[in-house]
């Protein structure tokens, strides 16, 4: 009797990092060149935004052409300096460029991670308004106002889970590839400007919860983003290049994991006592 080989379920985890999310696009370019596709995607903050485009079936060039024309004022619309912005710009970015209105309509499964400020609980969205849930996942406290949605007050998912690889493991992925565009988080800042200090404080807070995501990931791709700011779009082409180069460097290991079940099981067994689902 012949048995069909069970296909490998591959998940992509896209971490938060503000403007450094341009590096996610470089990773997408590398995956396309090697014909690697994903069965499901989890995203936090900017990762949820990029994830929405990916799961809508958009290719690197399409996403890049949208992103390269962005200006800070398109995203942050605060009229008073240092005051939080509404998320209207984020919602328009998704609503104007993705034809699907709800998460469940997307051709590829997407899991958007946010936090409900009312309860202090992590929320993982796999259905509902795409624009509202992405905006909620991106709503960094102090930078954006929270998003009111379905009796919840949503803030940036990175407050609790900036690298939501566990979400994919719990949904049955055999391989989880994570892109961490902010691996230097928690390093502080030499600036004494209020905004820089505030963002550095957020990074320090997120550093601890990001370590959990590393444990749940089979591969973590970490582009060198130290010279870029999460709040600045300057140097976006270089950010894309860093994401591309880091992913290409990891490609032998990625292909081995996807194609070799024995190696995959061995690697995961090395960590089975580190985390519990």
Active site residue 156: yes
> Among 168, 153, 175, 206, which Cα is nearest to 20's?
206
CB 146 within 8 A of CB 161: no
How is residue 29 written in tokens? 């370019």
User: Cα dihedral sign for 212, 237, 130, 11?
Assistant: negative
Active site residue 190: no
Catalytic residue among 45, 48, 114, 217: 45
Catalytic residue among 156, 166, 180, 218: 156
* Residues noted as catalytic: 45, 156
């Amino acid at each position: 009797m012949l048995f069909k080989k069970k296909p490998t379920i591959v998940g992509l985890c896209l971490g938060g990092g503000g403007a450094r999310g341009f590096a996610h696009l470089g990773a997408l370019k590398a995956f396309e060149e090697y014909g690697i596709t994903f069965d499901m995607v989890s995203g936090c903050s900017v990762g949820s935004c990029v994830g929405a485009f990916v799961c809508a079936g958009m290719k690197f060039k399409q996403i890049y052409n949208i992103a390269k024309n962005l200006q800070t004022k398109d995203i942050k619309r605060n009229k008073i300096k240092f005051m939080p912005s509404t998320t209207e710009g984020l919602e328009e970015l998704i609503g104007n460029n993705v034809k699907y209105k709800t998460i469940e309509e997307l051709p590829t499964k997407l899991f958007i991670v946010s936090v409900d400020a009312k309860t202090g609980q992590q929320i993982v969205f796999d259905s509902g308004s795409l624009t509202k849930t992405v905006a909620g996942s991106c709503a960094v406290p102090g930078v954006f106002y929270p998003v009111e949605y379905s009796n919840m007050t949503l803030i940036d998912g990175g407050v609790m889970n900036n690298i939501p690889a566990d979400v994919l493991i719990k949904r049955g992925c055999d391989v989880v590839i994570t892109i961490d565009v902010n691996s230097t988080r928690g390093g502080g800042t030499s600036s004494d400007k209020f905004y820089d200090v505030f963002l550095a404080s957020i990074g320090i807070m997120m550093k601890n919860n990001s370590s959990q995501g590393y444990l749940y990931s089979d591969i973590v791709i970490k582009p060198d983003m130290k010279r870029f700011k999460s709040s600045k779009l300057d140097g976006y082409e270089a950010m894309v290049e860093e994401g591309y180069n880091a992913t290409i460097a990891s490609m032998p290991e990625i292909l081995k994991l996807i194609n070799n079940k024995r190696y995959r099981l061995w690697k995961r067994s090395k960590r089975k006592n580190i985390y519990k689902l």
